[in-house]
Amino acid sequence: MSSNSAKLEIKSLTDNIGLARVTVASFAAQLDFTLSEIEEIKVAVSEAVSNAIIHAYHNDEGVIEIGMAINNHRLIITIKDYGQGISDIEQARQPSYTTADRMGLGLVFIDSFMNDLEVDSKLQEGTKLKMVKIPEKSQKKAT
Amino acid sequence: MSSNSAKLEIKSLTDNIGLARVTVASFAAQLDFTLSEIEEIKVAVSEAVSNAIIHAYHNDEGVIEIGMAINNHRLIITIKDYGQGISDIEQARQPSYTTADRMGLGLVFIDSFMNDLEVDSKLQEGTKLKMVKIPEKSQKKAT
Amino acid sequence: MSLEIEREGVNLIVRVYGDLDLHTVDNLRMEIEDRLDQEVGIKNMILNLEDVDFIDSSGLGFIIGRYKRISNHGGELKLINVKNSINKVFELSGILKIVDVFPSEREALKAV
Amino acid sequence: MSLEIEREGVNLIVRVYGDLDLHTVDNLRMEIEDRLDQEVGIKNMILNLEDVDFIDSSGLGFIIGRYKRISNHGGELKLINVKNSINKVFELSGILKIVDVFPSEREALKAV
Ligand SMILES: Nc1ncnc2c1ncn2[C@@H]1O[C@H](COP(=O)(O)OP(=O)(O)O)[C@@H](O)[C@H]1O
Ligand SMILES: Nc1ncnc2c1ncn2[C@@H]1O[C@H](COP(=O)(O)OP(=O)(O)O)[C@@H](O)[C@H]1O
């Protein structure tokens, strides 16, 4: 599989967090990820979708778009909401920082489980996370 | 779960048939389906997506849209392509009828595994299948 | 999706692992045909579906195709261990009228 | 997602089945808190995660919450059987510095 893409659109309901995880994991399986890498991808998706539900939409109705792409043997996942937005992205990415009495570990987990994370956000417009995961096996091959 | 909806957009690649099955099955699990009903839903999705890839797009590039909805404790799945279209829908739904040296059982399987199937098609514009599946458990409750 | 092929006398035992759908049947078909072309004196085929979790009409088409090639040469095709989850597709298709199903490879080998 | 709660002396054994995420933790939290409110004389909690396949930071938050309530009352929280698939989340979070993990309920019961 050298190139492919898919898009999943869900409502901001906690019922759909598992759906997002399963869909992205199934798409990711087209690359040569280990089971443990697939688990890491699932955590990252779960964190990003949970954040959209809680922080972006405050448990109100909203749409979450999940883009999946395989490009050059890399998995690229984008998770986009049209909610509140983040005022200070630097701060949001710090361990333990939370505005909702949670763990403050969501973005930290995404950061450590994926090879790359970009956060793009505008207040009142929404947030887009772009994360990249490269199978360890193909990284070794490349060197 | 009384109402929810989601949408999956995939490319017309056989690699994505499993993805479509897994996603719809995971969404369907929000209703009280038995494992055997989930299997039936998977077969229906697999047939519809395979048809879009082979018959609608003839293995060329194209987009397939998979809509999932829960409404009134029913699962509604729509599968839409923008491909060749079906000239005679009646005929296409007959057992053993095929234009591609296949089994001619795809639409028959969908018909028998789902509670309802509507086929909508226009030549050169595309085909939309709408299928409904109602959990047997809730059917019993209703009577 | 993977395949294991083993020869036992005039019988070819084929074990399929994974899903049988449009995506997987092409490779399986080629692997099996290659093997049939290479081996001399194969008569029957035993198709072990113990580890197949999913099958649709494309997967059925694959089985019917193997059935045709084998029976055209006077051989028999036997199926092993059709799981509950894929049983309905078999029943609905009528394939069980032309192909026998056995609980194990040993019993299928006895029957050919 | 389901829950099994059993009392053994001053210990509450809680067995979780399924995924621990934002969707499931609310119900789990309520069920456990209800039970803690009903029972008299519970001191420690043994949280059996043998059948948990997935956990994220919301699931961790749930465990930390239980830890706080139990340790506020002078009790101890022990975890059982953290699967490989969910291990990384535990390691990364630092939770293993405050909560001990045991291979079985028996060994956890011995340790409290
Ligand atoms: N999609 C989002 N929309 C708005 N704010 C967000 C979003 N994602 C994260 N944030 C902000 O960043 C903070 C840190 O996020 P995170 O590291 O995931 O921790 P937590 O979810 O536990 O608070 C959140 O508390 C919130 O203020
Ligand atoms: N999405 C579609 N686009 C165009 N034609 C279709 C589509 N789905 C089905 N058909 C037509 O209907 C016929 C019967 O379909 P089906 O019952 O699924 O059997 P099979 O796929 O084995 O041919 C196909 O051979 C094709 O001509």
- Which of C22, C61, C93 shows the shortest C-beta gap to B53? C22
- Cβ–Cβ < 8 Å for D86, D53: yes
Q: With cut-offs at 50, 70 and 90, classify the pLDDT of residue B2.
A: confident
The total number of residues shown for chain C amounts to 112
B97 lines ligand 2 (CB under 6 A): yes
Q: With cut-offs at 50, 70 and 90, classify the pLDDT of residue C85.
A: confident
Checking if the pLDDT of B141 tops 70, the result is: no
Which burial class, exposed, middle or buried, applies to D79 when counting CB atoms under 10 A from its CB (0-12, 13-18, 19+)?
buried
Summarize pLDDT for C41-53 with one digit per residue, the tens. Answer: 999 999 999 999 9
State the SS3 of D32-101. HHHHHHHCCCCCEEEEEEEEEEEECHHHHHHHHHHHHHHHHCCCCEEEECCCHHHHHHHHHHCHHHCCEE
The ipTM (two decimal places) reads 0.94
Nearest partner of B25 among B36, B13, B10, judged by Cα:
B36
For position D112, what pLDDT does the model report?
86
- The residue to mutate among A98, A109, A114, having the most atoms of ligand 1 within 8 angstroms of its beta carbon, is A98
Angle between helices D22-38 and A17-28 (to 10 degrees): 130
Residue identified by tokens 């079985």 is D104
Checking if the pLDDT of B42 tops 60, the result is: yes
CATH of the domain at C7: 3.30.750.24
The domain of C76 spans: 2-111
Which phi-psi region, left, alpha or beta, contains residue C107 (left: φ > 0; alpha: ψ -120 to 50)?
alpha
- Cβ–Cβ < 8 Å for C62, C25: yes
The structure tokens listed for B121 are: 């098609």
DSSP string, A79-116: EEE-SS--S-HHHHTSTT--SSSS-S-HHHHHHHHSSE
Q: Which of B2, B5, B8 should be substituted to probe chain A, the one whose Cβ sees the most A Cβ atoms within 10 Å?
A: B8
- Which of B47, B53, B112 shows the shortest C-beta gap to C56? B47
Q: Across chain D, what does the average pLDDT equal?
A: 94
Q: With cut-offs at 50, 70 and 90, classify the pLDDT of residue A61.
A: very high
Measured in degrees and rounded to the nearest 5, phi and psi for residue A30 equal -75, -15
- The residue to mutate among B84, B86, B105, B130, having the most atoms of ligand 2 within 8 angstroms of its beta carbon, is B86
Q: Is A39 a catalytic residue?
A: no
A46 lines ligand 1 (CB under 6 A): no
Percent pLDDT > 70 in chain A is: 97
Into how many domains does chain C fold? 1
Tell me if A22 and B26 make a contact (CB, 8 A cut-off).
Answer: yes
A123 lines ligand 1 (CB under 6 A): no
Under DSSP, the state recorded for A29 is T
The helix/strand/coil state of A60 is: coil
Under DSSP, the state recorded for B115 is S
Strand partners, D6: D13
